[in-house]
Amino acid sequence: MTPHINAPAGAFADTVLMPGDPLRAKYIAENFLEDAVQVCDVRNMLGYTGTYQGKRISVMGSGMGVPSISIYAKELITEYGVKNIIRIGSCGAISDNVKMMDVVLAMGASTDSGVNRTRFPGTDYAMIADFGLLSAAVNAAQKQGANYHVGNVYTSDLFYSPDESRYATMAKYGMLGVEMEAAGLYGVAAEFGAKALAMMTVTDHIVRGEHLTAEERQLTLNDMIKLTLEAAISID
Ligand SMILES: O=P(O)(O)O[C@H]1O[C@H](CO)[C@@H](O)[C@H]1O
Ligand SMILES: O=c1cc[nH]c(=O)[nH]1
């Protein structure tokens, strides 16, 4: 047990899917995993372990933001021996060629969060996905016929940014989407020797002011869950 995860040793599979919302973790466990068992609930950050097509898989909420996912990812890796963490989240698009409901695979994650400079002083360490996880997700996206993009995302500390001009700079530098955890997850994985990938569906277009309806959100969520689970069972 850890200060934040009240699961017994061995409760988590090698691969953990992490949505921001713990209720999304519950939804995935109840609708996509077989024989899923709830393994933790501190602060209602729900975690489950079950199987998908015979392979043991866990799913646990990460909460919102770099500090929150950093705590859970660190404890999963160092206290529960988790080897692969795949974030399945949502993001806001900023450029014209990334559309609502597209899937964004974060090959890299730029950020205004300070955690990685604290971790590696004096350095802009490049926050990158694990190549094996990324390729597995690309293969699964191609099989599914998903509209997907691979590249850099922007991990923001602020959901409500006072500086709207920054979106033009992000678009200029090719950021595919804005979200709030990927760079934190990649930093933890680098520090503690695990593999990580962040994938997001586009639920908002920040510049155009577009937002998915509840029905569209559910549909895209289901597609991304299937894509992620297919990728998860294809890795070692
Ligand atoms: O849908 P999730 O995974 O929570 O991801 C996005 O949504 C939250 C903000 O609404 C942030 O956590 C952001 O990264
Ligand atoms: O961080 C996020 C997540 C979804 N949509 C946004 O606009 N920002």
CATH assignment at residue 43: 3.40.50.1580
Q: Report the pLDDT averaged over residues 47-74.
A: 98
Q: Does residue 208 form part of some domain?
A: yes
The tens digit of pLDDT for each residue in 75-117 reads 999 999 999 999 999 999 999 999 999 999 999 999 999 999 9
Instruction: Kindly state whether residue 2 falls inside one of the protein's structural domains.
Output: no
The verdict on the CB of residue 113 being under 6 Å from ligand 2 is no
Residues 6 or more apart whose CB falls under 8 angstroms from that of 113 comprise 66, 155, 156, 157, 183, 184
Q: Which ligand is nearest to the CA of 66?
A: 1
For ligand 2, atom 8, the nearest C-alpha belongs to 92
Can you give the residue range of the structural domain that contains 200? 15-234
pLDDT value of position 229: 97
Q: Ligand 1 centre and the CA of 31: distance in Å?
A: 21
Whether 204 is catalytic is yes
**Residue 7 falls inside a structural domain:** no
Residue 183 Cα, ligand 2 centroid: separation in angstroms?
15
Q: How far apart are CA 150 and CA 27, in angstroms?
A: 26
Atom of ligand 1 nearest to the CA of 180: 14
User: Which residue among the candidates 14, 204, 223, 236 is catalytic per the annotation?
Assistant: 204
What does the DSSP 8-state code read for residue 162? S
Please tell me the predicted confidence (pLDDT) of residue 132: 97
Confidence check: pLDDT of 215 > 90: no
Decide if the complex's ipTM is over 0.90. yes
Tell me, yes or no, whether 1 lies in a domain.
Answer: no
Among 231, 48, 209, 12, CA closest to 143: 231
Segment among 42-51, 181-190, 193-202, 214-223 with least mean pLDDT: 214-223
| Domain-embedded: residue 79 | yes
Query: Looking at the domain assignment, is residue 103 inside a domain?
Result: yes
pLDDT at 220 over 90: no
Contacts 24+ apart (CB under 8 A), 165-170: 167/94, 167/206, 167/207, 170/94
For atom 6 of ligand 2, the residue with the nearest CA is 92
Into how many domains does the chain fold? 1
Cα Rg for the chain, rounded, in angstroms? 17
